[in-house]
């Protein structure tokens, strides 16, 4: 079973999940050059996105049409995941140059997730919002709406009130369903601003949607600040239990904002004994 899970996770992690565009669509719109480039890019099928064969197939596609934004983006991903911010940025900039509406979401999200380039991410997300009249959508891994991402970037550059306002507005949208970490981040923001009651309310909502070690840890901090030491202890015990069960913020590539670690839970348990 373990080997099966390893195999499945390897497959999902090793092969990128961008859907290949329908090459015939380019033909339908009369763009035969992009159609041919698109067909050429399909030769990377079955090759790992880091591999020579994968990269060379995309180079061949770009020789046919140097404005094929999709090829730049899928070429960039191996550089992103290997931490080569210089090559990644050069490639993704080309993709954005030729298809800003289609690729700004990816560049903005990656600037936040992989490089903590908060100002750059805000600029990309806000530019995308100015270009389109539809929902700007989610970051690449699907865990964060780009509005929530934008809010976290504002928090990181020292504008927590703006971050709270953006998240509150998004969560009040009746057409929006909260994502796995939205209420957690909102709760942490309230807590950091000294609004314990609001923090507890948000973190309880997080508990009902996606109960994690993190929301239990932060709610324990809020209870300690209010002097509710029994609730502090109970939630820390639950945080420890969830952490050890793997119910915590996790991403295979990067580290989440507001993530906590076992040693922090243990340290806070000792604080409660003082």
SS3 138: strand
Q: Using the rule CB under 8 A, is 60 a contact of another protein?
A: no
Of the listed pieces 25-33, 114-122, 135-143, 161-169, which binds another protein according to CB under 8 A? 114-122
Which CB, 118 or 190, lies closer to another protein? 118
Q: Using the rule CB under 8 A, is 10 a contact of another protein?
A: yes
In the list 176, 264, 266, 269, the residue contacting another protein (rule: CB under 8 A) is: 264
**Distance, CA of 31 to CA of 227 (rounded, Å):** 67
Q: How many beta carbons lie within 10 A of that of residue 227, not counting itself?
A: 8
Of the listed pieces 50-58, 136-144, 204-212, 233-241, which binds another protein according to CB under 8 A? 50-58
Residues 137-166 contacting another protein, CB under 8 A: none
Q: Using the rule CB under 8 A, is 6 a contact of another protein?
A: yes
Residue that has been written with the tokens 């929902």 in this structure: 135
Which CB, 51 or 67, lies closer to another protein? 51
Q: Which residue in 104, 124, 101, 21 sits closest to 65, CA to CA?
A: 21
The answer to whether 206 and 178 are in contact (CB under 8 A) is no
**Distance, CA of 234 to CA of 63 (rounded, Å):** 62
Rg (C-alpha) for the chain, rounded Å, is 22
* Cα 142–Cα 55–Cα 106 angle in degrees, nearest 5: 25
**Distance, CA of 179 to CA of 195 (rounded, Å):** 22
The answer to whether 64 and 71 are in contact (CB under 8 A) is no
- Rounded to a whole number of angstroms, the minimum distance from the CB of residue 71 to another protein is 15
Q: Using the rule CB under 8 A, is 7 a contact of another protein?
A: no
Which CB, 115 or 176, lies closer to another protein? 115
How many residues in the shown chain lie near another protein by CB under 8 A?
A: 35
Which CB, 89 or 155, lies closer to another protein? 89
* Cα 97–Cα 103–Cα 108 angle in degrees, nearest 5: 100
Q: Using the rule CB under 8 A, is 176 a contact of another protein?
A: no
In the list 85, 209, 233, 247, the residue contacting another protein (rule: CB under 8 A) is: 85
**Distance, CA of 187 to CA of 222 (rounded, Å):** 10
In the list 23, 39, 50, 247, the residue contacting another protein (rule: CB under 8 A) is: 50
Q: Using the rule CB under 8 A, is 245 a contact of another protein?
A: no
In the list 89, 94, 145, 150, the residue contacting another protein (rule: CB under 8 A) is: 89
Q: Which residues bind another protein (CB under 8 A)?
A: 6, 9-10, 13-14, 48, 50-52, 55-56, 78-79, 81-86, 88-90, 114-117, 250-255, 261, 263-264
């Amino acid at each position: 079973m373990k080997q099966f899970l390893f195999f499945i996770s390897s497959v999902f992690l090793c092969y990128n999940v961008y859907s290949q565009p329908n090459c015939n669509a380019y033909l339908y719109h009369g763009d035969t050059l992009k159609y041919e480039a698109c067909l050429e890019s399909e030769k990377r099928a079955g090759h790992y996105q880091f591999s020579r064969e994968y990269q060379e197939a995309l180079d061949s596609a770009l020789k046919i049409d140097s404005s094929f934004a999709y090829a730049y983006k899928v070429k960039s991903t191996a550089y992103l995941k290997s931490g080569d911010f210089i090559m990644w940025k050069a490639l993704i900039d080309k993709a954005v140059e030729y298809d800003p509406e289609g690729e700004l979401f990816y560049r903005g999200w990656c600037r936040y997730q992989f490089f903590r380039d908060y100002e750059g991410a805000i600029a990309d997300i806000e530019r995308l919002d100015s270009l389109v009249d539809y929902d700007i959508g989610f970051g690449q891994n699907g865990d964060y709406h780009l509005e929530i991402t934008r809010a976290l970037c504002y928090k990181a550059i020292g504008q927590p009130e703006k971050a709270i306002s953006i998240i509150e507005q998004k969560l009040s949208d009746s057409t929006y369903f909260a994502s796995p970490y939205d209420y957690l981040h909102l709760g942490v923001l309230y807590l950091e601003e000294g609004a314990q009651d609001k923090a507890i309310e948000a973190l309880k909502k997080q508990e009902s949607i996606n109960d994690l070690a993190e929301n239990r840890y932060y709610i324990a901090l809020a209870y300690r600040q209010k002097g509710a030491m029994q609730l502090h202890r109970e939630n820390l015990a639950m945080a420890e239990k969830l952490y050890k069960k793997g119910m915590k913020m996790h991403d295979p590539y990067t580290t989440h904002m507001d993530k906590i670690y076992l040693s922090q839970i243990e340290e806070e348990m000792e604080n409660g004994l003082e």
